[in-house]
Structure 1
Amino acid sequence: MKKLIKNGIIVTATDEYEADVLIEDGKVTSIGAYLTEDIDEVIDAKGAYLFPGGVDPHTHLDMPFGGTVTADDFETGTIAAAYGGTTTVIDFCLTNKGEPLRNAVSHWHEKSKDKAVIDYSFHLMIGEVNDAVLSELPSIIEEEGITSFKVFMAYKNVFQVDDSVLFRTLLTAKEHGALVMVHAENGDVIDHLVTEALDKGNIDPIHHALTRPPELEGEATGRAVELTGLADSQLYVVHVTSAAALEKITEARRKGYNVWGETCPQYLVLDQSNLEEPNFEGAKYVCSPPLREKWNQDVLWNALKNGQLQTLGSDQCSFNFKGQKDLGKGDFTKIPNGCPIIEDRFSLFFSEGVKKGRISINQFVDMVSTQPAKLFGLFPQKGTIAVGSDADIVIFDPNRERTLSVDTHHMNVDYNPFEGMKVTGEPISVLSRGEFVIRDKQFVGSPGEGNYLKRKRFNSTKKVTEKSLS
């Protein structure tokens, strides 16, 4: 079946122009003016932008944490993502020490089977490095197409690893063509500060932030990037929140290290004061790393504009306020960490970034779609509108005004961290591999239509250059 999208303005990471887009068998087959081939369906996108579908490199769907499980699974989470203009997610597959990695991968396939409405892939957590792990990794990379590993430097006695595991993971990634992702906070010192806070009776949500200060994010980031340089490997720092961490990434890139950085919408528009909201409402904003003092927002926006940070993930990790977040009443350490972000990532970044002149429209596309696709082995199948690419296309009204709210979102969670925020710009229709998932703001897809994506190996010959720093 052939579809033709007419009268839209195509926007990629490098270009902006008016053209028609011809779609056949899930692919873009032609881009031009006045295309007249036999068409089964014509879609008029007059007045709308045509963006490549968003690639969200950082989600936690159906994930166990702190004695509970995230409220959004692969069905509700990917439906919400599609409403928000995202057509590909890469979720984190958690592993257990002493168990084969293959078991964890199989478990994540079970979680996602017949549920996802858009395409998806997995990152793989590395919690230990030994002969068994090292023997499994090559086949997982080759057979599963999982070409990114996640290492935690925080969550002591749960996910945290020592520097030896991080360094050996970096060496293994270099050898086999994978990208290492790191949650950079000093978990040992955090553990000490948390114990000290609880001993003093400091139990409210604000102490989540006060026991995880930005200095500990900066220190861990610096340690991770120097180990990357020593290993001559490659590193992606997830959810950068502060000037302290950004300084270490910028310095590493100036040295030519293969280091990239991601931030998330919550760190661009929310701040530490949200954790002080009364009646335990501050628990809604407990995520790790925590929200920072407001002045960090300008630092992060400038870093996105200047190329010091390269991508925008959601760090989607939704827990209901009632029945999940409130597990931490009387002890902030028991509040499940995470926020529902997946649906609003795209529109919020356009509204706060492009509409307010903080970034260009091409930078917007680059950070929400193209760069994640390139870094994680999906480009040019994903991340752009080009002949031969998957027809993942967002028909986007740049002038539609609306208010973000739990009453109108599609995430399976009882609050919205951006409640009452007015945004400009909204996805109207979303196509995944040429088929509508959202049409005229209505869900028309089906669970199970999303494909699991095997990703290409990281290009280990790619180096950070002076040009990439500009």
Structure 2
Amino acid sequence: MKKIIKNGVIVTATDTYKADILIENETIMQIGENIQESSAEVVDAKGHYIFPGAIDPHTHLDMPFGGTVTKDDFETGTKAAAFGGTTTIVDFCLTTKGKSLSSAVEAWHHKSKNKAVIDYGFHLQIVESSDAVLAEIPKMVEEEGITSLKVFMAYKNQFQADDETLYKTLLAAKELGALVMVHAENGDVIDYLVKDALAKGNTDPIYHALTRPPEAEAEATGRAATLTGLAGSQLYVVHVSCADAAKKIAEARSRGIDIWGETCPQYLVLDQTYLEKPDFEGAKYVWSPPLREKWNQDHLWNALKTGQLQTLGSDQCSFDFVGQKDLGKGDFSKIPNGGPLIEDRVSILYSEGVKKGRISLNQFVEITSTRAAKLFGLYPKKGTIAVGADADLVIYDGNVERTLSAKTHHMAVDYNPFEGMKITGEPISVLSRGNFIIKDKQFVGEAGQGKFIKRAKYGETLEKMPTMI
């Protein structure tokens, strides 16, 4: 059925204006004033913004880690994402040494099949640079449409790859048109610091942060940037948590290295003291990189404002406090790393960024949607509001005040890391390809309606759109 969204204020990365939007066959067919279509459902967005659906470039759904599995799967995770105004995610597909990349991708397709309520794609982890793995990467990029490759520089003896693997991945990505992503922490140094802390009897959650210092993140970030420049390739640094790492990215960009940086809402509003909460509650805030000293927040906000960091991922990786996080009682290194962050990502950036004058409304759209769409081969079908684009739209109340809480969130976990935080702004209705997922703050979608997206190569567009319909 056709739909017309009327009376809203359309906001893209470059423009803000009032107009109607005509939707048909999952696509934006017309944008203009006073559109009339007798057969269309009329949606009144008066007093609200209309944003392009947000894109979360960093999620871990139904992922095994630390002897357990993330609590949110592709159904609960994407449903929570939709409530938060996100209409596309790109999830990390983990691989295993000695096994084919194809088998890992098949496993992730199985995890997501008939579950996702919004559209999704995969990043593919590269854990080794064997001849077999390198020979398989072209198929992943060319045929599977998985055009981003993830290398961990941390989690020794689990996910961590060596520098040779990173460098060979960068060379392959340059040739194939893929974007390499890194978790940038010096895993060898961290491994030593963790063992040393435990040997000294330092087992509380705060030592998760103290054994993963910002210097270890900055060093790895700079090293990855240098290798990218040497390879003449392209790099995306995930979850930048501290000023030192952000500066390494800025310095590399000033030298002409093709490098991009992502931060996450938790690093913008939470700090290291949360890991000191009594009764083991600090475990709720254990993720990697860890939360930093509060002064880093101003640097991260400034980096977003000035474009030295370009995107906001959630790093959604949820574990219950009771029954999962408490696996690490008496040994902080056994606390499953990650938090429930997918739902509140967009609204925290709006409330703390736009409403407090740290970033503009157009920058908000650029950071939450447009830049990720361009980097990860989804633009211009996604990431903007334009004729011919997918009708992924968020009708957003920019003035409502509310309090974040596990009592009201839609993630499957038993806590919210932003519990009690008062924010301004909330998605009212969310459409994915023209179909309501959230309507008047109620879930009206269904599991399985999200589609797997084969993405374009780095620097290319997903699909050429008509200039006029």
Match of 1:436 in 2: 436
CA contact (8 A) 2:84 2:345 kept: yes
* CA distance in structure 1 between the aligned counterparts of 2:134 and 2:327, rounded to whole angstroms: 38
Alignment of 1:200-215 (within 5 A): 200-215=200-215
Match of 2:123 in 1: 123
Match of 1:467 in 2: none
Match of 2:369 in 1: 369
Q: What amino acid is aligned across from residue 156 of structure 2 in structure 1?
A: K
1:406-431 deviation digits (Å, cap 9, x = unpaired): 00000000000000000100000000
Match of 2:77 in 1: 77
Shift of residue 96 of structure 1? 0.5
Match of 1:251 in 2: 251
Match of 1:22 in 2: 22
Match of 1:285 in 2: 285
Q: What amino acid is aligned across from residue 211 of structure 2 in structure 1?
A: T
* CA distance in structure 2 between the aligned counterparts of 1:63 and 1:299, rounded to whole angstroms: 31
* CA distance in structure 2 between the aligned counterparts of 1:35 and 1:13, rounded to whole angstroms: 23
Match of 2:268 in 1: 268
Q: What amino acid is aligned across from residue 330 of structure 2 in structure 1?
A: G
Alignment of 1:183-262 (within 5 A): 183-262=183-262
CA contact (8 A) 2:374 2:459 kept: no
Match of 1:106 in 2: 106
Q: What amino acid is aligned across from residue 39 of structure 1 in structure 2?
A: S
Shift of residue 126 of structure 1? 0.1
Match of 2:386 in 1: 386
* CA distance in structure 1 between the aligned counterparts of 2:290 and 2:274, rounded to whole angstroms: 11
* CA distance in structure 1 between the aligned counterparts of 2:309 and 2:224, rounded to whole angstroms: 16
Match of 2:465 in 1: none
CA contact (8 A) 2:81 2:87 kept: yes
Alignment of 1:57-72 (within 5 A): 57-72=57-72
* CA distance in structure 1 between the aligned counterparts of 2:334 and 2:352, rounded to whole angstroms: 32
* CA distance in structure 1 between the aligned counterparts of 2:39 and 2:409, rounded to whole angstroms: 34
Alignment of 1:43-54 (within 5 A): 43-54=43-54
* CA distance in structure 2 between the aligned counterparts of 1:35 and 1:75, rounded to whole angstroms: 36
1:365-394 deviation digits (Å, cap 9, x = unpaired): 000000000000000011001000000000
Shift of residue 37 of structure 1? 2.7
Match of 2:88 in 1: 88
Match of 2:355 in 1: 355
* CA distance in structure 2 between the aligned counterparts of 1:39 and 1:253, rounded to whole angstroms: 51
Match of 1:455 in 2: 455
Alignment of 1:326-337 (within 5 A): 326-337=326-337
Shift of residue 459 of structure 1? 2.1
1:219-238 deviation digits (Å, cap 9, x = unpaired): 00000000000000000000
* CA distance in structure 2 between the aligned counterparts of 1:448 and 1:406, rounded to whole angstroms: 25
Q: What amino acid is aligned across from residue 269 of structure 2 in structure 1?
A: V
* CA distance in structure 2 between the aligned counterparts of 1:134 and 1:460, rounded to whole angstroms: 22
Match of 1:343 in 2: 343
CA contact (8 A) 2:82 2:438 kept: yes
Match of 1:97 in 2: 97
CA contact (8 A) 2:117 2:448 kept: yes
1:253-303 deviation digits (Å, cap 9, x = unpaired): 001110000000000000000000000000000000000000000000000
CA contact (8 A) 2:377 2:460 kept: no
CA contact (8 A) 1:7 1:45 kept: yes
1:260 aligns to what SS in structure 2? strand
* CA distance in structure 1 between the aligned counterparts of 2:292 and 2:448, rounded to whole angstroms: 38
Shift of residue 38 of structure 1? 3.1
* CA distance in structure 2 between the aligned counterparts of 1:446 and 1:246, rounded to whole angstroms: 39
Could you state the TM-score of these two structures normalised by the residue count of structure 1? 0.97
Instruction: Give the gaps of 5 or more residues in structure 1.
Output: 462-470
Shift of residue 135 of structure 1? 1.3
Cα pair distance change 1:114/1:460, threshold 3 Å: closer
Q: What amino acid is aligned across from residue 281 of structure 2 in structure 1?
A: E
2:322 aligns to what SS in structure 1? coil
* CA distance in structure 2 between the aligned counterparts of 1:398 and 1:387, rounded to whole angstroms: 25
2:302 aligns to what SS in structure 1? helix
Q: What amino acid is aligned across from residue 245 of structure 2 in structure 1?
A: A
Shift of residue 247 of structure 1? 1.2
Displaced runs of 4 or more, over 3 A: none
Shift of residue 36 of structure 1? 1.2
* CA distance in structure 2 between the aligned counterparts of 1:142 and 1:257, rounded to whole angstroms: 25
Match of 1:308 in 2: 308
Identity of aligned pairs, percent?
Answer: 73
Shift of residue 440 of structure 1? 0.4
* CA distance in structure 1 between the aligned counterparts of 2:215 and 2:84, rounded to whole angstroms: 34
Q: What amino acid is aligned across from residue 100 of structure 2 in structure 1?
A: P
Give RMSD over aligned pairs.
Answer: 0.9
CA contact (8 A) 2:275 2:281 kept: yes
CA contact (8 A) 2:54 2:88 kept: yes
* CA distance in structure 2 between the aligned counterparts of 1:310 and 1:242, rounded to whole angstroms: 15
Instruction: Give the gaps of 5 or more residues in structure 2.
Output: 462-469
1:29 aligns to what SS in structure 2? strand
* CA distance in structure 2 between the aligned counterparts of 1:176 and 1:33, rounded to whole angstroms: 43
* CA distance in structure 1 between the aligned counterparts of 2:295 and 2:304, rounded to whole angstroms: 15
CA contact (8 A) 1:373 1:379 kept: yes
CA contact (8 A) 1:174 1:460 kept: no
Q: What amino acid is aligned across from residue 133 of structure 2 in structure 1?
A: V
- Residues paired across the two proteins, number: 461
Q: What amino acid is aligned across from residue 292 of structure 2 in structure 1?
A: R
* CA distance in structure 2 between the aligned counterparts of 1:91 and 1:311, rounded to whole angstroms: 15
Match of 1:153 in 2: 153
* CA distance in structure 2 between the aligned counterparts of 1:407 and 1:460, rounded to whole angstroms: 42
Match of 1:468 in 2: none
Match of 2:467 in 1: none
2:173 aligns to what SS in structure 1? helix
2:408 aligns to what SS in structure 1? coil
* CA distance in structure 2 between the aligned counterparts of 1:78 and 1:460, rounded to whole angstroms: 26
CA contact (8 A) 1:404 1:420 kept: yes
* CA distance in structure 2 between the aligned counterparts of 1:40 and 1:15, rounded to whole angstroms: 26
Could you state the TM-score of these two structures normalised by the residue count of structure 2? 0.98
* CA distance in structure 2 between the aligned counterparts of 1:418 and 1:386, rounded to whole angstroms: 34
Shift of residue 40 of structure 1? 2.3
CA contact (8 A) 1:4 1:39 kept: no
1:396 aligns to what SS in structure 2? strand
CA contact (8 A) 1:145 1:453 kept: yes
Q: What amino acid is aligned across from residue 99 of structure 2 in structure 1?
A: E
Match of 2:466 in 1: none
Shift of residue 244 of structure 1? 1.1
